[in-house]
Structure 1
Amino acid sequence: MPQTPPVTVLVADDDDAFRLALVDLLAADERFEVVGSAPSGVDVHPLCAELRPALVLLDVRMAGGGPTLARSLGTLEGHRPVVVAVSAQTGVTTVAAMLEAGVQGYFAKGRLGTTLPDALARVVAGERVLDVPGAEQALRLVEGSLDPER
């Protein structure tokens, strides 16, 4: 049986220790190959164009990050990586904004563990995975069935 090639990953986070921990976690899993990392959102576009990762882990509140960057990654010429948000920012409106920008997963930094590679594999396979408090509310907000003032 032919072995599936690993999913190429770019990790973008302005917290050096956290970014390196994510790189180490994913590098230890044969399903993933970390091809690059970025300390700011400004670095993500050029690295995506050069390295063409299949998956981008994106901190929401780093300089140059957020919904604008997530949305722009969906318009890369000839290459559209799966984008997953990883953030300490888990408010319903923040999660909803990232979902509207096209992210396929959203993970709370404080809730990450050794199960992250399994969750990311599910996202790459086409499943939307949200591991944040209020995920259901964020989805309803995006769908227009929740009043943001409530």
Structure 2
Amino acid sequence: MNASGGPDPGPRVTVLIVDDEELTRTGLRALLSAKPDLDVVGEAADGADVLPMVERLRPDVVLMDVRMPGVDGIEATRRLRSTLPDPPKVIVITTFENDEYVYDALRVGASGFIRKRAPVQQIAHAIRLVATGDSVLFPDAVRRLAAGRPIRRHAATGRATALTGRETETLRLMAKGQSNPEVAEQLQVSLETVKTHVGNVLAKLGASNRTQAVVFAYEAGLVGLGADDD
């Protein structure tokens, strides 16, 4: 119970909002600050300010616009992941879910994306989700973003050959947006076994999270782009 006699909202999640539009930042701050378990610790209008602000404020999650006139959200996310040993989770916020910038942000390690006009409950849920180490993955949208992209021969493509059959199955189910319990049910294995498979997939692909692993899987041809692919 908290001081007011109500239920304890649980651990607080600290958030940094990054968007070049002041109105967007102000609106998101007001909406998220109303949530008892979310704490907006700062705002930035340019991706160039993100790394120093993260180093100073240590937010759990960064809500990152991708299209900014200075340093964009893709480069800002790349800097966080390449510079900090324990970078915050990044959620891309975008006006259009088919924005090609979103896909590139996912490639460099963003945990997922959400539309700026999404209901505040959905945005808050996404923040809580990635703060616990999960990802915000919209399978259909990621598939559309990946469609038409050339297969990239990056390190993950070669590493994919090291995946076992079960790990490949797990990855394909991850690409469909299935959670660990759903994967466990589908494969008829324990939840702990699935967690092991997911950890192995991330390690072997060199991915920082489930979303990045799925993007690499599309690019390596491990997961088909057809809506009905198994």
TM bin (shorter chain): 0.7 to 0.9
The 3-state SS of whatever aligns with 2:56 is: helix
Partner SS, residue 41 of structure 2: strand
2:76 alignment counterpart: 69
Select the residue among 53, 58, 66 that pairs with 2:64: 58
Of stretches 85-94 and 120-129 in structure 1, the one that deviates more from structure 2 is: 85-94
User: Is 1:105–2:112 an aligned residue pair?
Assistant: yes
| 1:58–1:84 Cα contact (<8 Å) kept | yes
What amino acid sits opposite 1:105 in the alignment? Answer: G
Partner of residue 21, structure 1: 27
Match of 2:15 among 9, 13, 18: 9
**Equivalent residue for 2:38, pick from 21, 32, 36:** 32
Equivalent-residue separation in structure 2 for 1:95 and 1:18 (angstroms): 18
| TM-score, normalised with respect to structure 1 | 0.83
Say which one has the larger Rg: 2
What is the identity, as a one-letter code, of the residue corresponding to 1:37?
A: E
Deviations 1:43-89 (CA, angstroms, capped at 9, x unpaired): 11111111111110110001212311111111333441001100124
The structure whose RCO (Cα within 8 Å, separation 6+) is larger is 1
The verdict on how the C-alpha distance between 1:91 and 1:123 changes in structure 2, with shifts beyond 3 A counting, is same
Query: 1:92 and 1:136 mapped to 2: Cα distance?
Result: 13
Residues 38 and 79 of structure 1: CA distance in aligned 2, closer, same or farther (over 3 Å): same
Contact 2:32/2:120, CA 8 A, preserved across alignment: no
One-letter identity of the residue aligned with 1:120? I
Per the alignment, in what secondary structure is the counterpart of residue 34 of structure 1? strand
Task: Name structure 2 gaps, 5 residues minimum.
Answer: 3-7, 150-214, 226-230
CA shift for structure 1 position 138: 3.1
Report the equivalent of 2:167.
Answer: none
Distance 1:56 1:119 in 2: 11
% identical aligned pairs: 32
Please provide the CA RMSD for this pair: 2.5
Q: Following TM superposition, by how much is the alpha carbon of 1:127 offset from its aligned partner in structure 2, in angstroms? A: 2.2
TM-score (norm 2): 0.56
Contact 1:85 1:107 in 2 (8 A): yes
Given the superposition, is the C-alpha separation of residues 80 and 24 from structure 1 closer, same or farther in structure 2, using an over 3 Å criterion? same
Runs of 4+ in 1 over 4 A off after TM superposition: none
Secondary structure, aligned partner of 2:120: coil
Structure 2 residue 125 is matched with structure 1 residue 129: no
SS in 2 for 1:61: coil
Q: Which runs of 5+ in 1 are unaligned?
A: none
- Structure with bigger strand share is 1
